[in-house]
Structure 1
Amino acid sequence: MGNFKGLKKLGRWEVLIQGQKGYKERQNLRNTILISGGGFYDNSGGEIKIGEWIEYMYESGNGQPKNKLLRYQGEYRNGKKFGRWECTCEGTNAKGGGFYDQNGDKIGKWKEIISDKEIIFYGEYYQGKRVGQWKIISQADHEQENKEFIIGGGTYDQTGRKTGKWTLCNSFKSIQKQENMKMTYKLVFGLLFIHYIKMKPISILFVAWVIMIKDQKMVNGQNQVIWTLVHIEQVIRVFIKKVVRLDLEQFSLIGGGSYDTKGEGVKSGVWIELIKKDYNDDILYFGQYQKDKKVGKWRLFIYSKQNHEDDIYKDVVQFTTGFSNDHQQIGHDNDANRGLVQNFEQQRITLMLKFIHNLFSGGGSYDTECEGLKTGGWFELIDVDSKNGEILYYGQYQKDKKVGKWQFFQYGSWCRNNAPFRNLLQFITGLTDDRQDIGQDNYAYESGVQDLKKLIMLPFIHKLFSGGGSYDSDGSGMKIGQWIERKDECHIYCGEYKDNKKIGLWKELNQQKRIKSCMNYDDEGNEIYRSGFPQKILRIGEFKGKKKIGRWSILTTETSANQDEIGGGSYDSDGSGMKIGKWIELKDEYNIYCGEYKDNKKIGLWKELNQQKRIKSCMNYDDEGNEIYRSGFPQKILRIGEFRGDKKVGRWEILLQKQISKCDSSIISGGGTYDEEGYGMKIGRWIDFSDGITTFIVEDGEYKANKKVGLWKKYLLTSEDADEQMLVGCSNYDDQGIEIYKSQMPSKLIFIGEVRCCKKVGEWKILRWVEDFNTKKKSYIQIGGGYYNEGIKIGKWEEVINYTQNIDWLLRLAGEYSNGKKVGRWDIFRFKNFLEVVFMMMMELKLETGSSTLILIIFFKVDMKKEKNLVDGTFSITIMIQLQVDYIMEVWILSRANGLKQKIMKEEASSIVESINQGRKLEDGILLGAWIQINQLLQEEENILME
């Protein structure tokens, strides 16, 4: 709970946690805060913790619910933990802590609370890594004695990795009675045996009389039936008697076997060996020893602790051990024993099938010569912790050496419900789903054999196939050819082996099959190149010796939907390591270069592109790789094209880059053509840009032999509004490139058109410089114009006359020309600044006396109407000059020195309105009839508006 600045925390923040009470207590204490903590963030908005902090974290043992709260207290400096930090476990007496250095790394002696079982790791940190001797300590149930009990530990090397011998435990309860949990050797019935026991409120024996496996054919054709733990049945009974007064439900026997009677420590008979332990499952090996060598079939399976809750297992335990749940010996003659036997026999097959379906994971065979050599097909467990199931290897052994094709696949719980897998189980167990014995001679058994080869090895394995490769066929166990190897649960390696050595290109792929990194090896298996993670850029290709050859790709390791190639090119194939042909190279994280190499030298045109694939700059190189031209960034004008020698040839593009924001830009293009002969002469139409910083002049016209000819128009661009080109002038050139006419900025009145042979031709435009009073934006707008024919005006024209020196006061004449002379009706208009009239701008000015004056601009509208043809061919023109009374209610003029205001009412202003009576047709440019004396009228108007 605290404050935000934008989306960032700052200032004091409180951590409030409600207690873990029962339902009724939670109802009563719903809004009661039982635990609090927190600290300060700095005010920079970077969410940097500073000062003293109290933090909480839920912690638990492996896989257990998070029901214990750990409290951490210490100091932050610049967002990193510093100095002494203490840790306590709420509701217990477990305490820990240690020191952080200025980089936020743990240093010195530390006590770490690992789980809610009051187990502490005690040892030393160096630069954030555990080093040296570490102890596992228990503090439970010894408060009154104030003692600590060392229950495990081991050694870390200088890199923080475990080394040497270690003693580990998964939970505190599993070591509470450690004096009864040891490897125990007992001599019973002349056999030396070993027990692995652990605590669990369930049965003593996880399986006995359970697995019926038709394991191997005997010489006489009979099947030998091996009962899994029948050989150690007496051992179990004797051992249980030795631990009298201990709760039977606290123990579970998960493995063991027998040694010879000579005391030489030679294993013999049936054994269950523990390979690996984790929280939920134990990985066990089950098979037979002869003279301390493994022989025949050996099974790899997973022993799930969930099976302990099955009532059938409890019955098996009682039947096997001879003890009931109330610790009473059953005996073989009473009713309880007979009931157990009957119940077990009835459910034996169901139990066995359930066990096989849930636990079988792999295995294979050893030779029968007691040499302990693996032979034939094998399923082997890869030493990988997987959340989605076990990772198994499948392939063939020959004299303990892997040969031929080996594949690895992920074996999850869903496999056990797969139809081909059920067929495999039937073949292994010799039983059908309806609990009928298949037998060796019937069709079902033979079908099971075929299923093993076809239904299992093909559909099942291929469906789950995740990788693998081949070993040589001579039994030397060397990897050869293409391999897919598993690095861990999320990553695999792909590449080639030769004589058990990695060669060439190897790729590391993640779960999404995206390339994460790559490595290259020489023919001796030595790594010569590595690229990719943790760097963001990945370069992939092949080597010849220690030189790059062939196609190389440049990729990004960042997560996205597709891992697209962002660059790359080719090296020559002879092993000289020279770049050739087209290449896309990375300049940095945001920009790339595109161009061509020849003999490892840049030649021709190279372009620099940004993230949006927009051209940022360009460079030109000669055939020797020397840069001869550069254009673009940091300048805003970019000229792109090719050279021949040191002369420009062909089409050249001219780009103006408009910076809209830091991450986007738009391009306005121009350019033209140079001759192909290599003289560097401009020809044809060109759109050229002048260099500038905030404004740019664009010229549009034609070149002939590198000389400007004809009409060239000029446009103005600004960096703020480069999308709009404003016509600001023109120039005309003769065939020799000499300028013969020019009209352009800064004149407020310009005339745009073409001059040919010193005569105006075609369309001409008259432009006036005006200002938009809303946006304050200035621009040229067309106010007149017409057409010339060989220097003679023709057709409709609108002319402009500046009768004063003030550009804001113009006369506009509209009419028609014939052979350069005015004919017909001509109208005369007078307008002040056009936009002033349209928007009726009102300005409030403050006078020296503090009074306000409002000026309303008087607009005289010339209304041409009531045109009437007369009998004599003349016509009458009535020109009404009237005030716009809808807008002007009163006119205020500037006050004089005394600050008094004078008002001119509309009646007084209307006295300047005059009527013009008659006019006549213009014939051959000669005035006829009555005409209005415009100059006199305007003078009167100006006298009114002056002061």
Structure 2
Amino acid sequence: MNFFKDKTLDPVTWIQINSDNFNEDKYEQTGLLWDYYWNRYFQVKFQILRTKKKVIKYSTNNGINLRVDTQKDLLYPLNNLEQIKYLKWLEIQNPNLNQSERWILIWKGQALADIGGEYSNGSKQGPWKEPIENYWTLSQVYYIGNYLDGERIGIWKYIYEDQLIGGGIYDNKNIKNGKWIELSENFSNNANITYSGEYKNNKKVDKWEIKYRFSCVYQLECIGGGSYNQEGIKNGLWIDLIDNFYRYNSNFNQFQYLSLRQVTFNGEYQNGKKVGRWDTYFRIESLFQSQFQLIGGGSYDETGIKNGNWIEPSNNFYKYSQVTYEGEYQNGKKINQWVTRYKQKDQLDFICGGEYDAVGSIKKGFWVELSDEFRQDNQIVYQGIYHNGKKIGRWDINFRELDQFEKIGVCYYDEQFNKIGFQKEISESFFNLSQVIYIGEYQDGQKTGQWKIYWKNNLKIEELGSGLYGENGLKKGNWIELAIDFNEDKQVTYYGEYHYGQKVGLWVTYFRFSVNFEEIGCGCYDDEGIQNGFWIELDEDFSGSKQIIYKGQYKNGKKFEKWQEFKRDKWKIDQGFQKIGETYYQN
């Protein structure tokens, strides 16, 4: 049995891949990626497909392949989307049965020779240096220690930017004891968060502190924590941190941006349950000595259930998305009127919301609600009717780019709450600089017939893509699609054929830098949508300002042998692409 990560609202959950029953199945998951423009996490949907040829394929919802694995490649569970795309383990020797085998880490096509260790009789043995579970570009942290028959023993250390930042001691049976400094689940360059305290027989006991710093050059500050009883259960007063707590400072186009998601929850635990009043605080100032400000909270009863009036931050609350929800709980369920408030630059901007029925947590009647990704440059509002907690009838999509909200889309739902008839939808990554709209029809909740893709650039609206949906809402025939992050500086489209929802044959990539689209990349998919043969593909951050492409061979969905890197200067387009490097991939 092998396991894969499923990224929903929580950082890590599991889905199972049963190798004994390898029928063709598809899972839709949601993963987190870091938005380098706004310096925040955002959610991206992707697919895990098990094919009849015993291949596991990861791809985006518009068919772009992220990774292809065979069954024997499933050495480690994959923890985030960057790992899916870039992290691989390589056996550097193939010994006879019952001999040791050495494994090293491959990251972005490069072998990290000092990372890894040995297996013996199927178990890790001896010294290992391995990436932490949430390893990615901004979280290149390693865990160093020894294994005995697959279990950690002795001293283990966390190493980050060549510095010791944590660790502790395992007993002979993989049991933690004594003083430990552990990293937060989402530890990264912009979220240097550690937990320090004592373990007793693998249970946290007594006082634990949560410490934070901007980076390794800053001092740690204590921003949270509390106590555990002898059973490892939280008790007494605590300060908890919101998931994905971070602070990120960057320079963009000569301007400095500070992106903050520093939210804490302060209150009391009794035997692991929150009780009494819990307050929510947020820090928005740019200096470490700035104070957390009260922004909400509410009360739990003696059983740990929410009751009475509450003010809660949205799941994506941060500096540029200060959205809170205010209303009443009864026995842990929302009831009556709830109000959504949005603040911009610390000033209340507007209010919306709707009503829950007396049963609790079921929306009813007319609602005006914000998109999940509502923020300063993505102000999208939906309005329409709920019946039994589901949308029905006409729902308008409104967007504010300047001062006023304007209708940019519309959806219709039938009495079974399925989308039906004419629809005008927006892309998942819609925002000010990427106003992509899809127009077409639904039948029984599935897309059907011809759909067209438009892009609004200032006052100009262009049709840039289109294609057909056939049986079961699957794409078929020739399509022109836009890149997921299509925007003014990244006008990239793809042209090719779908067969039963799967990309097949030759696909060509086009890019428009000034007036006309030019062919800039291409490659072929086999009948299972897996890349093979020679490809020219764009850098994942390709844009008008960063025109980098790669040329090389795919074999069964994996890069192998030599790949060459080329770059074109945006100010010297007539000179074409010039080779700037090459990478060798193991087969």
Higher relative contact order (CA 8 A, sep 6+): 2
Q: Is the strand fraction higher in 1 or 2?
A: 2
TM-score by length of structure 2 reads 0.38
TM-score by length of structure 1 reads 0.25
